[in-house]
Amino acid sequence: MKRHLLIATVLALPVAAVATAQTPTPIADLVRGTTATIEGTVERILDEDEFRIADASGRIDVYIGPNIVSFDTGERVTVRGFVDDDLTKEFYARELVRANGEVIRFDRRYE
């Protein structure tokens, strides 16, 4: 019985971790060097591989390179990735979910 309980507990841990990683973090609360999910509105297109996203707490530049995806300013998106640990806080996208449910995964050659 204890063995089954231990197995059930171990199997439940990754699921809980994934569920937490999926919960959007306010942009103002992002911590350098961590993975996160953010949600907001595309505020500005900065380059062919970078855009700025904003939520009620702030804004951050999102790098999707070396990929090119066209976004519309004002589009609501959810982005999963990690926060750069350099002086300038920037978000490196691994996956983006558009308002229509389309999921776009990005090549991660920049890691």
pLDDT, one tens digit per residue, over 43-66 is 999 988 999 999 999 999 999 988
Whether residue 87 lies inside any domain: the answer is yes
Task: Work out how many domains the chain is built from and give that number.
Answer: 1
Pairing of strands 58-63, 76-83: unpaired
Distance CA 59, CA 81 (A): 15
Whether residue 36 lies inside any domain: the answer is yes
**C-alpha triplet 36, 32, 27: angle, nearest 5°:** 55
Range of the domain at 58: 24-105
Whether residue 9 lies inside any domain: the answer is no
Whether residue 66 lies inside any domain: the answer is yes
Q: In this predicted structure, what is the pLDDT of residue 59?
A: 97
Whether residue 83 lies inside any domain: the answer is yes
User: Token digits for 35?
Assistant: 């993975």
| Mean pLDDT value across residues 19-26 | 74
**C-alpha triplet 47, 34, 48: angle, nearest 5°:** 10
Whether residue 28 lies inside any domain: the answer is yes
Pairing of strands 50-55, 58-63: antiparallel
CATH number at residue 65: 2.40.50.200
User: Which of 14-18, 69-73, 74-78, 88-92 is predicted with the least confidence, judged by mean pLDDT?
Assistant: 14-18
Assign 74 a pLDDT band (cuts: 50, 70, 90): very high
pLDDT, one tens digit per residue, over 3-20 is 443 344 334 434 333 334
